[in-house]
């Protein structure tokens, strides 16, 4: 079921009751109506469920919730997406905030240009213990017409930045069951649709750091490298579907990132992922660059030493070069 004009905010949370209350309050403060807020409790073990119950009681008909076994942000966002009724979809992390006119500006922009599927604006970045700084984070201060090819270089906005048409997220389908880089993969899947962007040149959201546990930290752990390897594999497929070839500078950048991640996976004793990423790096580089000294030498080293030992040796050399 879809309700015309409704903005559905999907908000996963795990053991962050106070930050959750602040995030929900920022959505309730929107100047735009109608809205709904779907809180997905990702198996919290503290008093987050009580905070959710209090938010629902105080905002009947606006705040809804669903609880799932702890599965990470991908599955949590998908659980929320399955029950969202809005014409527009907003994803929000539980430690971030929306600024009051976000929905008003972005819904207006999307209604004003039916050819656009996603609207975005400026995002600020700061610590929860510091005052906000009015500086656009990443590339959110730039007017960019399409998500690809720029998204191959980086996910140049944060989860709170964009507002999606429901039709766009429906075509994208389900979130992957990943805990790391699931958001970059999802946006690249949307980018492969050739989506046009609406640019709203004002601050629309805040990304905040804090002292609590964050899934983006400690990116060299084995499980995170596995998730990153899976996400990068899918991102490469999305880029190919979008017609991006090795001649594009953005694809060459991504090829270098694939090669780096292959070395890191090897060093972490993930030989299957290391070999898969290396093969993708060669494909993304194109036939001529795949015959370059670095790739040829690394394949030979992996053939003699194995992918794990080759990765460890390469990472040591990378550290020396830095």
Question: Looking at residue 126, which CATH number applies to its domain?
Answer: 3.90.550.10
**Interval 165-180: pLDDT, tens:** 999 999 999 999 999 9
- Of 213, 216, 217, 257, nearest in space to 235 by CA: 257
Same domain, 148 and 205: yes
The average pLDDT across 53-78 equals 97
Q: Is the pLDDT of residue 57 over 70?
A: yes
> What's this model's pTM, rounded to 2 decimal places?
0.94
- Whether residue 172 is contained in a domain is answered as yes
- Whether residue 217 is contained in a domain is answered as no
Q: How confident is the model at residue 183 (pLDDT cuts 50, 70, 90)?
A: very high
Same domain, 56 and 200: yes
Q: Which two tokens stand for residue 234?
A: 């899918």
SS (H, E, C) 146-204: ECCCHHHCCCCCCCCCCEEEHHHHHHHCCCCCCCCCHHHHHHHHHHCCCCEEEEEEEEE
Q: How far apart are CA 175 and CA 189, in angstroms?
A: 10
Same domain, 124 and 25: yes
Same domain, 145 and 203: yes
- Whether residue 197 is contained in a domain is answered as yes
Q: Which two tokens stand for residue 90?
A: 């907003």
- Whether residue 214 is contained in a domain is answered as no
- Whether residue 65 is contained in a domain is answered as yes
DSSP 126: E
* Residue that is last in its domain, among 209, 242, 261: 209
Q: Is the pLDDT of residue 90 over 60?
A: yes
- Whether residue 50 is contained in a domain is answered as yes
Which domain, by its residues, includes 286? Answer: 222-321
pLDDT of the residue at 156: 97
Same domain, 111 and 177: yes
Q: Which residue has the higher pLDDT, 215 or 249?
A: 249
- Whether residue 273 is contained in a domain is answered as yes
Q: Distances from the Cα of 194 to the Cαs of 165, 166, 239, in angstroms?
A: 14, 16, 11
Q: Which two tokens stand for residue 12?
A: 């996963």
- Of 149, 152, 126, 125, nearest in space to 138 by CA: 125
Quote the number of domains for the chain. 2
- Whether residue 215 is contained in a domain is answered as no
pLDDT of the residue at 218: 52
Same domain, 9 and 70: yes
Cis amide bond preceding 149, omega within 30: yes
Q: Which residue has the higher pLDDT, 217 or 10?
A: 10
Q: How far apart are CA 191 and CA 201, in angstroms?
A: 21
- Of 19, 24, 49, nearest in space to 35 by CA: 24
- How many C-beta atoms surround the C-beta of residue 145 within 10 A? 11
Q: How far apart are CA 95 and CA 81, in angstroms?
A: 19
């Amino acid at each position: 079921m879809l309700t015309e004009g409704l903005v559905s905010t999907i908000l996963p949370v795990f053991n962050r009751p106070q930050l959750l209350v602040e995030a929900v309050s920022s959505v309730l403060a929107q100047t735009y109506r109608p809205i709904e807020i779907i809180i997905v409790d990702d198996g919290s073990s503290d008093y987050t469920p009580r905070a959710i119950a209090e938010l629902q009681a105080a905002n009947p008909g606006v705040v809804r919730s669903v609880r799932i076994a702890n599965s990470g942000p991908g599955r949590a966002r998908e659980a929320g997406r399955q029950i969202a009724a809005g014409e527009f979809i907003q994803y929000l992390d539980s430690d971030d905030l929306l600024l009051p006119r976000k929905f008003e500006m972005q819904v207006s922009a999307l209604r004003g240009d039916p050819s656009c599927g996603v609207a975005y604006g400026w995002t600020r970045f700061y610590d929860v213990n510091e005052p906000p700084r009015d500086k656009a984070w990443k590339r959110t201060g730039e007017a960019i017409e399409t998500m690809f090819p720029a998204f191959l270089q980086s996910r140049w906005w944060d989860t709170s930045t964009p507002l999606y048409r429901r039709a766009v997220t429906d075509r994208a389908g389900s979130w992957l069951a990943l805990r790391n880089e699931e958001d970059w993969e999802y946006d690249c899947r949307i980018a492969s649709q050739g989506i046009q962007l609406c640019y709203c040149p004002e601050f629309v959201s805040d990304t905040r750091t804090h002292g609590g546990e964050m899934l983006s930290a400690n990116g060299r752990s084995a499980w995170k490298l596995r998730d990153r390897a899976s996400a990068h594999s899918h991102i490469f497929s999305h880029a190919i579907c979008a017609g991006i070839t090795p001649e594009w500078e953005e694809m060459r950048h991504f090829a270098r990132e694939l090669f780096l991640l292959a070395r890191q996976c090897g060093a972490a004793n993930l030989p299957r992922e290391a070999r898969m990423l290396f093969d993708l790096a060669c494909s993304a580089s194109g036939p001529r660059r795949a015959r370059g000294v670095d790739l040829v030498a690394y394949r030979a080293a992996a053939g003699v030493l194995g992918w794990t030992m080759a990765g460890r040796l390469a990472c040591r050399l990378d550290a020396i070069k830095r």
